[in-house]
């Protein structure tokens, strides 16, 4: 079974509008971390936002917010006021416990976002 | 602060040849990761080091792939012999530690084409 599922291969949004990128995850751990990364066409992965499994408030970082619904195992990324520079691949990732107390990361397949002028 | 450095940026080899990639993490980062990213897919973790010890290598094809981080700083990933399906971008990343909230910082990647 996939640990991270991103069901939207591609999304289109008009500049200045908001867009939601979906992510569901699968873990039996109680303690885990959820991340979103952006990968522009240049290829370098850029960290956007983090949500801990025990955090009660949804994380926000500037125009990015994470809609965390723990019971549904959902961690959707919301980008407000989209900009042309937001066009990129977006990856949802999770860190869950491995051996020896270390947390091991897993990435989803990604969603391609295109922002139209 | 310097980012994660990787070399080479591009490599073209023929199948059955060997190839090696090098990564230098951000100074002070104890944890180093190697990922394989096939076109159109998300990064797949190959190996995670904490200092010079292996934390996880469950998805590393050990019959052909090897990695080392002898002094706990830079690292080398080797493929020997290469197969066509190894064509991918190999990403190196680093972080301070291995807690659940550790942000990974990625290098630019090495694009490998196996002919």
Report the pLDDT value the prediction gives residue A2, as an integer from 0 to 100: 81
Report the pLDDT value the prediction gives residue B2, as an integer from 0 to 100: 85
CA distance A110 to B88: 16
Average pLDDT in the A93-110 region? Answer: 92
CA distance A73 to A54: 13
Residues of B with CB under 8 A from a CB of A: 33, 35, 40-45, 48, 50, 55-56, 89, 91, 93, 98-109
What residues form DSSP beta bridges with A115? A13
Report the pLDDT value the prediction gives residue A101, as an integer from 0 to 100: 83
Report the pLDDT value the prediction gives residue A100, as an integer from 0 to 100: 79
What residues form DSSP beta bridges with A117? none
Q: Is the pLDDT of residue A85 over 90?
A: yes
Among candidates A69, A39, A72, which has minimal Cα distance to A51?
Answer: A69
DSSP symbol at B86: G
Average pLDDT in the B13-37 region? Answer: 97
Among candidates B93, B92, B94, which has minimal Cα distance to B110?
Answer: B92
Q: Which residues of B touch A109 (CB under 8 A)?
A: 40-42
Among candidates A77, A2, A1, which has minimal Cα distance to A34?
Answer: A77
Q: Which residues of B touch A104 (CB under 8 A)?
A: 45, 48, 55-56
Query: Higher-confidence residue: B71 or A6?
Result: A6
Q: Is the pLDDT of residue B73 over 90?
A: yes
Contact B92, B104 (CB under 8 A): no
**Per-residue model confidence as pLDDT tens digits over A36-59:** 999 999 989 999 999 999 999 999
- Collapsing DSSP to helix, strand or coil, A93 comes out as strand
CA distance A23 to A9: 11
């Amino acid at each position: 079974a996939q640990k991270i599922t991103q069901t939207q291969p591609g999304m289109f949004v008009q500049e200045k509008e908001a867009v939601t990128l979906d992510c569901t995850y699968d873990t039996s751990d109680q303690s885990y971390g959820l991340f979103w990364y952006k990968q522009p066409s240049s290829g370098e992965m850029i960290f956007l936002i983090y949500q801990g499994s025990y955090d009660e408030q949804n994380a926000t970082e500037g125009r990015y917010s994470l809609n965390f619904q723990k019971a549904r195992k959902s961690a959707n990324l919301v980008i407000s006021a989209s900009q042309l520079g937001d066009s990129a691949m977006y990856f949802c990732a999770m860190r869950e416990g491995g051996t020896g107390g270390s947390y091991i990361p897993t990435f989803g397949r990604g969603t391609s976002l295109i922002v139209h002028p | 602060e310097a980012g994660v450095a990787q070399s080479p940026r591009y490599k073209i080899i023929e199948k059955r040849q060997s190839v090696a990639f090098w990564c230098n993490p951000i100074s002070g980062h104890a944890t180093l990761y190697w990922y394989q990213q096939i076109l159109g897919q998300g990064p797949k973790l190959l190996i995670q080091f904490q200092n010079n010890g292996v934390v996880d290598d469950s998805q590393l094809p050990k019959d052909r792939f090897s990695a080392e981080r002898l002094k706990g700083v830079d690292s080398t990933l080797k493929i020997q012999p290469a197969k066509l399906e190894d064509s991918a971008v190999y990403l190196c990343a680093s972080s301070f530690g291995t807690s659940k909230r550790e942000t990974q910082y990625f290098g630019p990647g090495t694009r490998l084409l196996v002919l």
